[in-house]
Structure 1
Amino acid sequence: MEPLPERRSIRYAGYDYSRAGYYALTICTRNKEHLFGSLFPDERLRLSRLGQVVVAQLEDLPHYYPTVRLDTWMLMPNHLHFILVLTRNGAVAVSQIVGSFKSRCYGQWRATLLAGGQPAPPSCWQRNYYERIIRNSTELEAQRRYILENPSRWNTL
């Protein structure tokens, strides 16, 4: 049996992702399915049950991690954009936050499905996530604008 090929990391080599700062993150649903809800022409997302779970868990991140703040965020039908702020060096890593966030969301959603007699898929998330280290106030403003304008771009796709 051949060994599995090593997964290539999409993280910035040598960077400490537990370093205080701003991080723009995007997390996608498995197979880009529209699991979080439906976006209407008025650019408002009507949340599914999973979408409600994701919003609640996102807003609760500072409860789980007191050295973390949320800046700007936007939930779309098949992905989540948000700016995560780590306020203290070395307290927690971005990967730890994202991993536990995805796990809590899926676990809560799965329990709801099973309690309602519905089958639960093996996951609701894409395997990885995308991140950008925000280095200055110009990049921060650009990321905030990108996130907030995401619904208007969605309707033009």
Structure 2
Amino acid sequence: MTQPKFQGKYRIESTRLPDYDYAANGWYFVTICTKDRIYHLGNGVVSGKVQLTPIGEIAQQYFIDIPNHAKHTHVDTYVIMPNHVHGIVVIDKSTNTAKSSQKNAETQSQFMSQISPKPASLSTIIRSYKSAVTRWCNRNQHEYFAWQERFYESIIRLDDSIDRIRQYIINNPGKWEQDKNNPPDLWM
């Protein structure tokens, strides 16, 4: 079955698991890339340490700050690379939140309701993060900065995979020379 078109125009396949609640408690490994994988966040890696640009410093500050803007979240391990961000975002709603049973006015359409990111979902959290960094860039003479339109996520389901992913993130700067996101012919 093919996906219906949004407003009769677009058909973009989602990379998310169908019927999975991305606002549910969980651990999520995310990768967010700059548009065209341009080195906006760092000037490279020296002795296993990323040399962050001013944009990279803001990207790091705002990533650490995610829990102050998204309830029931915390950031586990993360790294800002020259052209992408790796991190583990945890959604933990350990306290019950009451939901209103009041019916809202009819939305634009049932379809819009189904495809819109849910409040406090991973997509909403990442969209807000990307938006905050972009807004800072636009206000600080870095209008050329842009993110790749989507982001990669992996739901962390097994305890033993958490440590493996943490090690991958921690060791990422040391493996920069072999990284597929570090094309040798990319002009900086």
- Output the TM-score relative to the length of structure 1: 0.88
Measure the CA separation in 1 of the matches of 2:121 and 2:10. Answer: 26
Query: Would you say 1:40 and 2:45 are equivalent positions?
Result: yes
1:149 paired residue number? 171
Residue 50 of structure 1: aligned partner: 55
Q: Contact 1:41/1:155 (CA < 8 Å) preserved in 2?
A: no
Give me the whole-angstrom Cα distance separating, in 2, the residues matched to 1:92 and 1:156.
35
Give 5+ residue unaligned stretches, structure 1.
none
Deviations 1:57-104 (A, max 9, x none): 111111112310000001100000000000117871000000010000
- Aligned partners of 2:54 and 2:26: how far apart in 1? 32
Note the alpha carbon deviations across 1:41-64, whole angstroms, 9 max, x for none.
Answer: 301112111101101111111111
- TM-aligned CA deviation for residue 39 of structure 1: 2.4
CA distance in 1, matches of 2:33, 2:125: 15
Aligned match for 1:125, one of 127, 130, 147? 147
Moved over 6 A (4+): none
Q: Percent identity?
A: 29
The reply to whether residue 107 of structure 1 matches residue 135 of structure 2 is yes
Q: Summarize the alignment of residues 85-96 of structure 1 with structure 2, pairs less than 5 Å apart.
A: 85-88=90-93, 92-96=120-124
Aligned alpha-carbon RMSD (Å): 1.7
The structure with more helix, counted as a fraction of residues: 1
Aligned residue number for residue 107 of structure 2: none
Alpha-carbon distance in structure 2 between the residues aligned to 1:75 and 1:40 = 11
Equivalent position of 1:11 in the other structure: 16
Figure out how many residues of one structure are paired with residues of the other and give that number: 149
Larger Rg: 2
Q: Which residue in the other structure is 1:134 paired with?
A: 156
CA–CA separation in structure 2 for the residues paired with 1:86 and 1:128: 20
Q: CA deviation at 1:40?
A: 2.9
Residue range with higher mean Cα deviation, 3-12 or 64-73: 3-12
Match of 1:69 in 2: 74
TM-score when normalising by structure 2 = 0.74
Contact 1:49 1:109 in 2 (8 A): no
